[in-house]
Amino acid sequence: MTNTTYFPIDKLKESETPLYYYDLHLLDETLQAVKEASSYPNFHVHYAVKANSNPEILQRIAAAGLGADTVSLGEIKAAVTAGFPAPKIVFAGVGKTDEEIITGLQYGIGCFNVESKEELGIIEELAASLGIKAPVALRVNPEIDAHTHHYITTGLAENKFGISMTMLEETVDKCVKSEHLDFRGFHFHIGSQITDLTPYKILCERINVLQEQFKDIEIPLINVGGGLGIDYDNPEKNPIPDFKTYFEIFHDHLKLRPGQQVHFELGRAIVAQCGSLITKVVYVKEGIGKKFVIVDGGMTALIRPALYQAHHKIENITSSSEIEEKYDVVGPICESSDVFGTDEVLPITKRGDLLALRSAGAYGEIMASGYNCRPLPGSVFSR
Ligand SMILES: *Cc1c(COP(=O)(O)O)cnc(C)c1O
């Protein structure tokens, strides 16, 4: 029932909760699996820093040889500090400021993934003022439904991301004619936590059509974004996502030109399973026909359940009871959405027990906030 073999219980008991526990051995295994599955000569994987920018994690990913996909100057700096070479850093986001663009240019980052023709105009101007050429890829909105939660689908016409198909021709034309823009190719990202891989096949077909449409233009790279999902229900059974099938889809379905590079931007699939939120039971409260387990880490430590109605597997890692009961597991924050789970089956749980919320390595620690003046969670690593 309890999972004392996986977690370093003594170390966790001594540490201040809530905290994130990272299994670095699993991270290394995951990175190895990514590298093996993507080992086609023209495939390059960039880690989406926004999933988790804990320095220890970033350094390991940089050391494994991946590039970095960033969405702010802060992330670019974190990536550089962690050891990612600037040419292997790409920069996306709908609201890049002048300062972010200038600094990115000065660092010599590999590519700006441009989200609008307005942004393209500003990048051109700023590159001209520095007397250089900015490497740009145009983010195309392919209008594909990724069949994921509507807050994390990004490839539909109604989303704020990317350049619509109707405006693409004039935008490509502007790039190609500019003295200060170096057109690198097209960028796509259709959503996150994608577990049915069919949308990726549709994406490949859209890309093939687009390549036909722009057959007279040189397109050095195609960036297919990220979004590969993980198994939140069974972290023990599926600790490492099926990278092989994922990369094979692109290998089998994309009609690439000779020498054309394919870039991938995986975040969640790389870091989610190696992290757990460890939180302590403050009270077990008797409600009407219900028992509440109130823990010390709520939506300020892990916001995904409150933000996306996500569910993380919950384990009591210190109870030695063989008897199970149903509990609603809730945080201490003054918001009704501060709920980690309802009718969770746990061994008899008492004040002081430690719970682990599994698969919390992505969009967990990085999204923690100081709401209610709570301190940010710390982190503990396996060695
Ligand atoms: C968030 C994001 C990613 C990573 O998404 P995951 O679902 O974590 O793989 C990749 N590319 C872009 C442009 C993103 O915004």
Q: What is the mean pLDDT of each run of 10 residues along the chain (383 residues)?
A: 75 97 98 98 98 98 98 98 98 96 98 96 98 97 72 60 88 96 96 95 96 97 98 97 98 98 98 98 95 97 96 97 97 95 97 98 98 96 87
**What predicted TM-score, i.e. pTM, was given to this entire model?**
0.95
**Do 102 and 201 share a domain, yes or no?**
yes
Pick from 222, 256, 272: which residue ends a domain?
Answer: 272
Question: What is the DSSP secondary-structure string of 266-328?
Answer: ESHHHHGGGEEEEEEEEEEEE-SS-EEEEES--TTT--HHHHH-----EEESS-----EEEEE
What separation in Å is there between the alpha carbon of 89 and the centre of ligand 1?
14
Answer whether 303's CB lies under 8 Å from 333's CB: no
- Please tell me what DSSP assigns to residue 94: T
User: Element (H or E) spanning 120, and its range?
Assistant: helix 117-130
Eight-state DSSP code of residue 7: S
Q: What CATH number is associated with residue 318? A: 2.40.37.10
Residue 380: φ, ψ to 5° = -130, 140
Same domain, 16 and 31: no
If you compute the radius of gyration of the chain from its CA atoms, what whole number of angstroms results?
22
Q: Are residues 371 and 328 in the same domain?
A: yes
Last residue of a domain, one of 219, 251, 272: 272
Output the pLDDT for position 335: 92
Domain count, the chain: 2
Say yes or no: 244 and 329 in one domain. Answer: no
Ligand 1 cavity residues, CB under 6 Å: 48, 50-51, 69, 92, 189, 192, 225-228, 265-269, 362
From the CA of 152, give the closest atom in ligand 1.
7
Q: Ligand 1 center to residue 265 CA distance, Å?
A: 6
DSSP 140: B
Give the model's pLDDT for residue 158: 60
Does 18 sit behind a cis peptide bond, omega within 30 degrees of 0 on the bond before it? yes
Of 53, 265, 266, the residue with max ligand 1 atoms within 8 A of its CB, to mutate for a pocket test, comes to: 265
Nearest ligand 1 atom to alpha carbon 192: 7
Question: pLDDT at position 338, please?
Answer: 97
**Residue where one domain finishes, among candidates 242, 272, 302:** 272
> Which of 336, 332, 340 has the alpha carbon at shortest distance from 371?
332
Tokens of 161: 């991301």
The predicted pLDDT at position 156 comes to 56
Same domain assignment for residues 200 and 252: yes
pLDDT at 152: 56
Structure-token match 């919320």, residue found? 357
Residues 248 and 328 placed together within one structural domain of the fold = no
Coil/strand/helix, residue 380: strand
Distance CA 134, CA 126 (A): 9
Which DSSP state fits 330?
A: E
For residues 60 and 157, membership in a common domain is answered with: yes
Which residues span the domain enclosing 230? 24-272
Whether residue 374 sits in one domain with residue 281: yes
Judgement on whether residues 121 and 242 belong to the same structural domain of the protein: yes
Give the CATH number of the domain where residue 49 resides.
3.20.20.10
Nearest C-alpha neighbor of 186 from the set 217, 158, 156, 160: 217
**What pLDDT sits at residue 1?**
45
